[in-house]
Structure 1
Amino acid sequence: MYEIVILEKQWMKGLSVRTTNEMEQTKERKIAPLWQQFFAQQIHGGQAPVIGLYSDYEKDEHGSYLFTAGQFADPQLEHAKEIPASTYARFRTKKGPIEEVVFETWQQIWTWDERHFRTYTGDFEWYDERSIDPKEAQIDIYIAIDKKMLAETNSIS
């Protein structure tokens, strides 16, 4: 279902919007239009990977958060956004229509047994060459977790 990876801090730049998961289930959703704006403006320059970063969480998946569509960037750039160094649970979607497989994987994450290990410091979606065809896409979703809590739980079981 997922694998544990440790990543160093990285930086990205892109377009951001504040939203909630509740709002994303309505016609007032903000993430899909932000992606459209990002690609229409060719901000990514046609290069992969493209990152969808969830950060600045108000509390958890029930509060507001900042969503940024962008790409890796030099940390010296003005308004560069940090992807924090962390231990992550990396989920890989199945192949299929991009909106469907991303939403389906997020539903799995929201009901995932270890979801209480989430740190809400920064989670992200990784879109690379596997997601070029939006009808047959596959992406990775990285969820920041507390490595110590996970290790303690795994040593008990």
Structure 2
Amino acid sequence: MIAIAPPRRVQLEQPLQLAGIQTRTTNLNEATPEARIQPLWQRFFSERVAQSVPGYTPQSQLYGVYSGYASDAHGAYDLTAAVLAGEVPQGLVGIEVPVGDYLVFEAQGAMPQAVLAAWAAVWKYFEGAPAHPRRYAVDFEQYSGDGRVAVYIGVIAAD
């Protein structure tokens, strides 16, 4: 059973500095045999990428950072599988999650079903005329263990 909380608006007041591995894809591509997200996460775990980042512990949260949007939900974007990092080890990419307003969609349950359910809630929320339009700058998933994921969607701040 997947539990999904109603979205809540938060203000990220400090940027997050992360390091990991990256791929570029589109949502359309992810529905084909050439999908890149699952292989990225498989590589992240099989190559023990998180463990190569100074400061990593088994309790560290994992992040999936969506950035480099070409346009909107239909365009290309980068996905970085990452952990918090004070420095970027050689062979990894660094990425910063900027401060700003985010809508948070939280889910708990078996993976990857929980994260897919959280994204389904994101798509449903934004298919209408949402009160908080997306920025399409940086969005991120935060995995905190025990089947918990929070999807942070950057939104345009209300005046």
Displacement of 1:63: 0.4
Displacement of 1:116: 6.1
Question: Is 1:2 the counterpart of 2:18 in the alignment?
Answer: no
Within the candidate set 126, 137, 142, 2:142 is matched to 126
Within the candidate set 76, 95, 103, 1:81 is matched to 95
- Could you tell me which residue of structure 1 aligns to residue 154 of structure 2? 144
Higher relative contact order (CA 8 A, sep 6+): 2
Structure 2 unaligned residues grouped into runs of 5+: 1-5, 52-57
Map Cα deviations across residues 102-140 of structure 1 (whole Å, 9 max, x no partner). 11221221120428610011000001122xxxxxx1211
* Structure 1 segment 95-114 matched on structure 2, within 5 A: 95-112=108-125, 113=128, 114=130
Displacement of 1:26: 1.6
Q: Which amino acid aligns with 2:123?
A: W
Give the total of aligned pairs.
Answer: 142
Provide the identity percentage: 32
Contact 1:74 1:80 in 2 (8 A): no
TM-score w.r.t. the length of structure 2 is 0.82
Change (3 A) 1:24 1:76: closer
**Local SS of the residue matching 2:81:** strand
Partner Cα separation in structure 2 for residue 44 and residue 18 of structure 1: 20
Map Cα deviations across residues 59-101 of structure 1 (whole Å, 9 max, x no partner). 11110000000111126767421111111111101x3221212
Considering fraction of residues, name the structure with more helix: 1
- Could you tell me which residue of structure 2 aligns to residue 49 of structure 1? 61
Q: Which amino acid aligns with 1:117?
A: P
- Could you tell me which residue of structure 2 aligns to residue 134 of structure 1? none
Displacement of 1:44: 1.0
Partner Cα separation in structure 2 for residue 146 and residue 23 of structure 1: 27
Structure 1 unaligned residues grouped into runs of 5+: 131-136, 152-157
Partner Cα separation in structure 2 for residue 76 and residue 39 of structure 1: 18
Map Cα deviations across residues 2-46 of structure 1 (whole Å, 9 max, x no partner). 111111212111000000011111221101110010111111124
- Could you tell me which residue of structure 2 aligns to residue 26 of structure 1? 32
Partner Cα separation in structure 2 for residue 25 and residue 86 of structure 1: 31
